[in-house]
Amino acid sequence: MAEQLFLYGVYSIHVRPIELNGARWDAEYEIRHREKAVKTWTTIGGDTGYGDEAEAVAAAHRQAVDDIEHGAGIPRPRAFP
């Protein structure tokens, strides 16, 4: 699976899966605003990873949305919903 793009308000979330040994998966995500990274690539999954690629991508997407919702050092534009 190639890098996926999700839109969330004024942000774009870029997610790409990472294949591990033993058919396990991690994923990494980056949050951008106007094509500038506001949070650089962050890997999730840990030592055991996820069972399949789609699960890893979904988890990275959820974590990115959570980061946006709870700040995580990401500036909020005035027009944020």
Boundaries of domain holding 8: 1-51
Each residue's pLDDT tens digit, 56-76:
999 999 999 999 888 766 766
22: left (phi over 0), alpha (psi -120 to 50) or beta: left
- Whether 81 has a pLDDT exceeding 60, the answer reads no
Does a structural domain hold residue 56? Answer: no
Does a structural domain hold residue 80? Answer: no
Domains: count for the chain: 1
Does a structural domain hold residue 57? Answer: no
pLDDT at residue 1, rounded to an integer: 67
**pTM, two decimal places:** 0.85
Does a structural domain hold residue 45? Answer: yes
DSSP, collapsed to helix, strand or coil, labels residue 47 as coil
Each residue's pLDDT tens digit, 4-52:
999 998 889 999 999 998 789 999 999 998 888 989 999 999 888 899 9
Does a structural domain hold residue 61? Answer: no
The token duo for 22 is 């033993």
Does a structural domain hold residue 73? Answer: no
pLDDT at residue 44, rounded to an integer: 94
Does a structural domain hold residue 74? Answer: no
Does a structural domain hold residue 72? Answer: no
